[in-house]
Amino acid sequence: MLNLLGVGLFQVSVPAYLILQAYLAYAFHGAWRIAALIPLIFVAPLFLFSLYALGLGSSLWPLTLVLLTPVGLIYLVIVFAVHRFA
């Protein structure tokens, strides 16, 4: 049961990351926006790589996104929390 919960959290992290990334990029200004856009340095190339792997017919094409977006999501939640309390 715990294993299924962990897998589910990883799968939910991809759309949650994308939604939070878009929201913070829109809502924040100045240095806060730059801080919120930092994960895109890593996620954008991996997204393109995933699309490339999908085009080649790889069955593991979403693996890089599924493994990286939880880290980006945690970072964005921390930036949001610091911004909220600052």
Segment 3-24, tens digit of pLDDT: 655 666 777 888 999 999 999 9
Mean pLDDT computed over 35-63? 93
The predicted structure's pLDDT at residue 6? 64
Residue 30 φ then ψ, to 5°: 65, -135
pLDDT tens for each residue of 51-78: 999 999 999 998 888 888 999 999 999 9
Report the predicted TM-score, pTM, of the whole model to 2 decimal places.
0.86
CA–CA dist 86, 75 (Å, integer): 16
Q: How far, in whole angstroms, is CA 68 from its chain's centroid?
A: 7
Residue in this structure with the two tokens 């962990």, named with its chain if needed:
6
CA–CA dist 50, 44 (Å, integer): 10
Task: Provide the angle, in degrees to the nearest 10, between the axes of the packed helices 63-85 and 40-55.
Answer: 160
